[in-house]
Structure 1
Amino acid sequence: ATLIPSVAVPLSLIGTFGVMYLLGFSLNNLSLMALTIATGFVIDDAIVVVENISRRLEEGESPMQAALKGSQQIGFTIISLTFSLIAVLIPLLFM
């Protein structure tokens, strides 16, 4: 459960910095804040998915079946959670 976010977050940040460099973007307060918020989204979504999969494992399902059903079951929740967080943080866009 800890391994997935510990690999996904650095890789996504390194990829983001690479794309920013290739497109000529600079690091300012707004882009650093956006990276912080995006990292929070990744961690928050990963925690919700891992908790659901863990619950299904405790109910006696096999690891593969728990992962597939748990991820499928929580997909809409993750999407709605992400959109609601984006809606709440839209005022930061206008800074």
Structure 2
Amino acid sequence: MEGIEHKTISVNGINMHIAEKGKGPVVLFLHGFPELWYSWRHQILYTAAHGYRAVAPDLRGYGDTDRSTTQRLHQIHRSPSDRRHRCSP
């Protein structure tokens, strides 16, 4: 969609899909239940056009992102660590 780049990155033992566009300070878009990165497509384009790097992942178990291999890994305390890795340049 209009130059939105899609990547799969390795984060905390899973493959995570991210959609991103733009350069500059990062704006992170996190979807809710039961949505995907696609929920933010219009905001990604707008934000990137105004000098920011828009990043929208599919969170664990959604879209093209892997589920955790064990229930323990899927606990909420892993999510902040996932987001930190995604936003690093």
**Which has a greater percent of strand?**
2
Larger RCO: Structure 1 or Structure 2 (Cα < 8 Å, ≥ 6 residues apart)? Answer: 2
Range of TM-score over shorter length: 0.3 to 0.5
Rg: which structure is higher? 1
**Which has a greater percent of helix?**
1
How does the TM-score come out when normalised to structure 2? 0.35
